[in-house]
Amino acid sequence: MTDIFNYGTDHLTIGTCLDIASGKTKGIINEDAARMINNSWREVEKIVHSHHPVYGINTGFGPLCDTRISEADTSLLQSNILKSHSVGVGKPIPQEIAKLMMITKVHALAQGYSGIALSTLERIIWHIDNDIIPLVPEKGSVGASGDLAPLSHLFLPLIGLGEVFENDERVRAGDVLNRYGLQPLSLGPKEGLALINGTQFILSFAIKAVQRLDDALNRADLIGAMSLEGLMGSIRPFDERLHNIRPFKGTRMVAHRLFTLLDGSEINSSHINCDRVQDPYSLRCMPQVHGASRNAWLHLKELTEIELNSVTDNPVIFNADDTISGGNFHGQPLALPLDYATVAAAEIGNIADRRCYLMSEGRYGLPKLLTHDAGLNSGLMIPQYTTAALVTENKTLCFPASADSVPTSLGQEDHVSMGSISGRKLHQVIDNIEYIQAIELLYAAQAMDFRRPLRSTPVIEACHELVRQHVAFIQDDRVFADDINSLHKLITDGLLLQTAGKATIAHQIDLSHDEFGIY
């Protein structure tokens, strides 16, 4: 049975939002939300008939806020704003992101402060339920009056304009409406402005980033543990006593995960009394580095969930005599943590690259470049060039977009967040991390094979076996791009984490932590 979420009245979490997008949960408007929506719509009608000037209802927009609009033209004003603000350029954003934009917008508007018509929200829900996803260009928002351009493109189909994806095919919105026997909507006063004011573009990239970065962080611990085994590193630096006297949440969690993943390993037990005093930082400082990135992830998650349940419209309608033209649409509260998370994500790639380099050096009993016949074979020399290139690209993406501001709207919008760029850059960094982790997995599995017949723990061995099902042990040089792409698919399909998860369940191993979940 499909779970039900009540827009406007229930508390929306990141996990629930993703479940609505995937079809596991159905979002509806219940009687309580419908009453709030209708009450707010009636208050806007009162404003129109009273002729009292309220921004965006009977005035122009932005620098035209002092231009009065006649009662007869208030509806035309709202359709005009959708058309004139649809100025996005570039490739379409992923359909899942566009769908998340609709879901989060419905939840914000259904709280009853925006003057939207119930029928308009029902039409948006129709798009969500039927996977008729508007085409939204990726560029054009400065993240200040909300995400004006992308939200305008998102809702052009409501008035029969723009394009949509239907079964992954681009089609004209008007043609789809005709096929389903639906008419374009005639927007009422305030509706166009309510639809395009808000942070749902930034927010939807943040939602998906929380999920993707969570996966990347979980993989970082798992693959890092495999690398440590291949390098015969110590698990002593993961002793909880060490981290209880510097108790950052992320650090403590990573230390617990690494110690639990490695405790009882034959490989580890074989060198407990060796003469190595300490390991390089990329091994023994995994709790501190991975953990710091987890703290940044937690910060992003917490602020994203606040925004998920917020009203980011302008003006906000409390009643016909009490409206506030404020700045809840400004993207700065998400732009800053998105930039912070971008740096945190890049660091996961930086330390992984160092472990790849360490495994290729020929130290700690491993052959140079992880091959028996170095010279005739280059072995795993060049994949680390790729990680070096990717981590450097990530560094160039770490410049905080939120540190910049270009005034717009003839100076009316004189400080903007650029949070839309922050959100997109974070995903570019995560894209690169997925390839870096695929390459580290290639190195780690190869290094572990040089420790045979010694074996690691059940979770680590399950992951190593998965790798070997798709990528053979490297005897001689071959086209390593094929291996990297195979392992990258294991990562992006979620199979690596699924395999680790099944092994933890089978062996009753607990790696979870409530604060770091997305549901």
Active site residues: 55
CB 460, CB 265: distance < 8 Å: yes
Q: Which amino acid is it at 377? A: N
Say if residues 218 and 253 touch (Cβ distance below 8 Å).
Answer: no
Q: What's the half-sphere exposure (Cβ side, CA atoms, 13 Å) at 141? A: 38
| Residue-by-residue DSSP string for 127-175 | HHHTTEEEP-EEE---SBSBSHHHHHHHHGGGGT-SEEEETTEEEEHHH
Other C-beta atoms lying within 10 Å of the C-beta of residue 48: 20
- 17, 100 in Cβ contact below 8 A? yes
Distances (CA, A) of 214 to 207, 345, 387, 477: 11, 10, 20, 34
Secondary structure class of 179 (helix, strand, coil): helix
Q: Rounded to an integer, what distance in angstroms lies between the CA atom of residue 462 and that of residue 443? A: 16
Task: Provide φ and ψ at 27, rounded to 5°.
Answer: -90, 135
Residue 68 bridge partners (DSSP): 59
Element (H, E) at 295: helix 286-308
Tokens for 472? 């053979």
- Is the separation of the CB atoms in 24 and 1 below 8 Å? no
Strand pairing partners for 132? 166
Inter-residue contact 441 to 467 (CB < 8 Å):
yes
* Contact residues for 437 (Cβ-Cβ < 8 A; gap 6+): 216, 219, 220, 223, 349, 352, 491
Q: Which two tokens stand for residue 326?
A: 């404020």
H helix count then E strand count, the chain: 20, 9
Q: What share of the chain is helix, strand, coil (3-state, %, to 5)?
A: 60, 10, 35
- Give alpha helix (H) positions in 361-418: 383-396
| Overall residue count recorded for the chain in this entry | 519
3-state secondary structure of 214: helix
- Burial 147-168, CB ≥16 within 10 A → b, else e: bbbbbbbbbbbbbbbbbbbbee
Looking at residue 471, the DSSP 8-state letter turns out to be: S
Question: How far lies 129's CA from each of 208, 251, 359, in Å?
Answer: 19, 41, 49
Q: How far apart are CA 151 and CA 137, in angstroms?
A: 10
